[in-house]
Each structure stands twice: as structure tokens, then as C-alpha cells.
Structure 1
């Protein structure tokens, strides 16, 4: 993900030259292929949003029985009236002198009833000495509409901030690169994480039921073989 951060920030720090329309000659060279690619990527993002709706099932659980190492799950609201879920993953990069860099990625999914109403993704990378801090936050407050280009982008690199909707990127090519090389990969990563969380809860639930049934069987056998127990019954 470090390379992805570097990729997207190149565009951010060139803000003054990249969000404004290009000259007529460059605009003239925009072709149908670029538009088709943008349309395909937009549909892919909307499809992933739809699949992220599986998070609703996790909201119904009173508690999480099993969570992967390095992953943290928090809920918006209290059970059974939760309105959203946040999944965060943390990792470290070690060097010769110990930990050199820490990175965190998170996704926040908010629901209005059963409808996905907001998606916030965030990536933060920080050197352990605090010399280099990069934050990228992407907010889509209308994930179910067809306009993917209204995603609000907020980036901060060592205190230098930019904030704008991705529709202000210069052209379809830049927006497509952003979606394909960064946003879609981030969404897919968290979709896999949510599927894994759901599977782990199902496995843990099945294991608990099996243990409970085994306990009942043991208790039944004890009662059946014990004269004193039979008298009491």
C-alpha cells in the first residue's frame, strides 16, 4: 500500500496544475476509450459498494467472537440499534534499528436502515520518528447514486493539505488511474476483510454450538448412568 500512497500523492501535490482544465489540444485527444474505461471502473466501484452491504450482518451480532490479528472493529451506536461499523487494520515495517514505519487502513460503513448511506476510507502512514506523516481520506456520502466522481478527497502530507471532489481531477484518464490504482484496490481489500470476519463469526458460532451440544450429551449420559440422578428426576 506504500506504493499506492506514493502514487496518489504525486497527483495531490501537483494540485495547482492538475485540477484545472488542460489546454484545448490535450482536451481534443480525449477519446471514447478513456470514457469507456471510466464507465467500467464506475460500475465496478458501485458493485463493490453493493457487496460491502454484507457488513449489515455483522451489525446484528451482539459481539465479535473472533477477529484477525492486527484488525480492530468498532460499531456506531449500541446493540441492537447500531448504525455502522468501522474496520481498521494496522501494520508495521521493521528495519535494522527496529520499527521504522507504521501504517493503518480503515473503512467506515454507515447505514440508514438497511441502506448503505456513507463510505469513508482512510490510509495513514507515519515514520516512527514523526518526520513523515501521510494521511489520505476518501468520503462518499452518496454511495448508491451513479455519480462516483463526487467522492471527496482529503489528503495531508506533513501538514500540507488538499481537499476537493475527484471530479476536479483534470480528465477521465487521471480519475481512472486514481480509481483503478488506489480506490478500487482499497475497497477490495476491505471487502475481503469483511468476508473473512463474517466467516470467522460463523465458524466460531458453529464451534460454540458443537461444544454446547457436546456438553448437553455429557450431562445426559451422567444423569442416565447415575442412580441418584434418576431418583431426583
Structure 2
């Protein structure tokens, strides 16, 4: 495991721009907690003794329910190819058809520059990797990468759960990187007692929203495949009808 990174005076400018969304705010907090604040509280807190509040338990159940829902992505593995996809979406596979073991869904978005015609101010890449052991979801790995071309900042947060169905959400492994400065810790190292509720805030405002958003995206991808299949069947039927006309 990577050692906690030392504090330095550059930490004060870790996030200089004002975030434009709650998600970006929490993303900033993740970096600050993992890279700058963690050494201070990690020495005094034993993660094994942390007591979960009722709110934390509810959040854990919601995350586990989202994992269960994401299991529908296994149906995508049965498709030899994607007939159509939402704009800005790429689907890749773990393994080869028909013996695939997982699917990775990536969404891309860009913010156009107001000063430079055709230029880009910011780009964002969100992805989720879902791996299966037979019919069981065995791994969930989600990631957000951002690039700010005006400030030349690049950031990424990757979250990996290799036991998504074990009823323990707090063993989620978080890897954060900003401009090459990295930190990696289990989620249960974040405090979640008293006024320090970073762990619950991370779950509520960041992780849960991310995986629930991907669940909706999976359903949309499935619906698009069904619609395209129906169109193809209709075209094929029309071709047969035309071939029978004399």
C-alpha cells in the first residue's frame, strides 16, 4: 500500500477553482482527505472500532442494492456486438464472446471553450467495470478522470470493490491521483464519527450517485439494443415480403 504523502504548502491550492457541482465538491474533498488530511487522523482512529450510525447503515444498504441492480449488466455479455450506444459511450469487454467475464462502460463529456472557437476547457471520463464469476457479480471498479486544459490539472479517483456482495461496503479501495500525486486507502480509513462524517458523505454524495447513474445507463444501453434488434427484424421481414412479390 502506498504510504501517506507528506503535507506541503502547495496543498492550500489543491483545489483553486470553484466546483460547479456537488459531485465535483466531493471529488475535491476526496483528494484533500486522502492526500493531505489523512495522516493527521489515521494515527488516532482505529477503523475496526468505528461504530456505524443508522444513516451509515442505510447508505450501505442502498449501495448493496445498487450492486444487486448492476447485476443486470450480465445480460450484455450475451450480445455478440452492440447495435447502438448512447452518445459519448464506449463499451469494452473482459474476455471474448461467448465466454466473456465482464463489461466496462465508459462515458465521455467535454466542456467547450468560450474563448477559443472549437477549443475545449475541460473533459471528463466516467467508467464502471463489472466482472462476473458465473452469474455472480464479483468486482465493481468505477473511475472518474478529469482534465482542465486551462489550468493543466488532471485528476482521477478510482474505487474498487472486489467483494461487492459481502455486505461490507467499507472495504472499498480508493485510489486518488492529482497531477501525479497519489494516495490509496480503504474507505474505512475515512472518519465517520461525531462531526467527522467524511465516509458517509463520500458514499452519499459521490459513490452512490455514480453507481446509480451507471445502473440507469446500463438499462438505457439494453433498451437501445432491444429497439435496434426490433428494427432489424422488421427490415428483414420486409425484405422477405418483397422477395415473395412477383
Pick one of 202, 210, 216 that aligns with 2:226: 202
- Quick check: 1:3 aligned with 2:59? no
Distance 1:206 1:21 in 2: 60
Instruction: Output aligned runs, 1:20-59, within 5 Å.
Output: 20-21=43-44, 35-59=53-77
- Quick check: 1:151 aligned with 2:169? no
Contact 1:8 1:182 in 2 (8 A): no
Q: Which has the larger radius of gyration?
A: 1
TM-score where L is the length of structure 1: 0.86
Q: CA deviation at 1:175?
A: 1.1
Q: CA deviation at 1:12?
A: 2.2
Larger % of helix: which? 1
Distance 1:52 1:171 in 2: 27
Distance 1:104 1:158 in 2: 16
Contact 1:20 1:168 in 2 (8 A): no
SS class of match (1:54): helix
Instruction: Output aligned runs, 1:162-173, within 5 Å.
Output: 162-172=183-193, 173=197
User: How many residues end up aligned between the 2 structures?
Assistant: 215
Distance 2:75 2:41 in 1: 41
Q: Which residue of 2 aligns with 1:84?
A: 102
Q: CA deviation at 1:6?
A: 2.0
Q: Which residue of 2 aligns with 1:178?
A: 202
TM-score where L is the length of structure 2: 0.82
- Quick check: 1:19 aligned with 2:42? yes
Closer, same or farther in 2 for the Cα pair 1:195/1:20, shift >3 Å? farther
**Unpaired segments ≥5 residues, structure 2:** 1-22
Q: Which residue of 2 aligns with 1:218?
A: 242
**Unpaired segments ≥5 residues, structure 1:** 227-233
Closer, same or farther in 2 for the Cα pair 1:131/1:208, shift >3 Å? same
RMSD: 2.0
Q: Which residue of 1 aligns with 2:127?
A: 106
